[in-house]
Amino acid sequence: MADFMRNNLINITSTNFATSSDLDVNGILVVASADTWSCILKDRSGAVCFRADSSITNHRTFYVPLNGQPLTGLQADTLTNIEIVVVYLNK
């Protein structure tokens, strides 16, 4: 069995990231570098497919399980005070 948590993932660290490939997403982890942060990801058509924001003190890690959510491409639109976004993929 493959090690999904280490092998089937995409690391996003800047808004320069974009892929037009269809993806089967198992979960998204956001790690922020400050107390006030925002993460917006869009699909190939430009529609928002994921958004997470916070201004809570010491709330800098956020995980959303998606259990095989299909996405048509993925691009980083807004990464304000974001250290890394990890997109876990089903393979």
- Total Cβ atoms within 10 A of residue 67: 9
Looking up residue 10, the CATH number of its domain turns out to be 2.60.120
Give the pLDDT confidence of 4-23 residue by residue, as tens digits.
455 689 999 999 999 999 99
Show the domain range for 80.
Answer: 4-89
The pLDDT of residue 33 is 97
* DSSP tag of 13: -
Query: What integer is the mean pLDDT of 24-35?
Result: 96
Instruction: Specify the pLDDT at position 12.
Output: 96
Q: Tell me if 30 sits within 8 A of 85, measured CB to CB.
A: yes
Q: Residue 14 carries which side chain, given as an amino acid letter?
A: S
19-40 mean pLDDT: 96
pLDDT single digits (tens) 42-77: 999 999 999 999 999 999 999 999 988 999 999 999
Q: How sure is the predictor about 91, in pLDDT bands with cuts at 50, 70 and 90? A: confident
What's the order of all strands across the beta sheet hosting 9-12?
Answer: 9-12, 82-89, 18-32, 61-80, 37-42, 48-54
Output the pLDDT for position 7. 65
Q: How many domains does the chain have?
A: 1
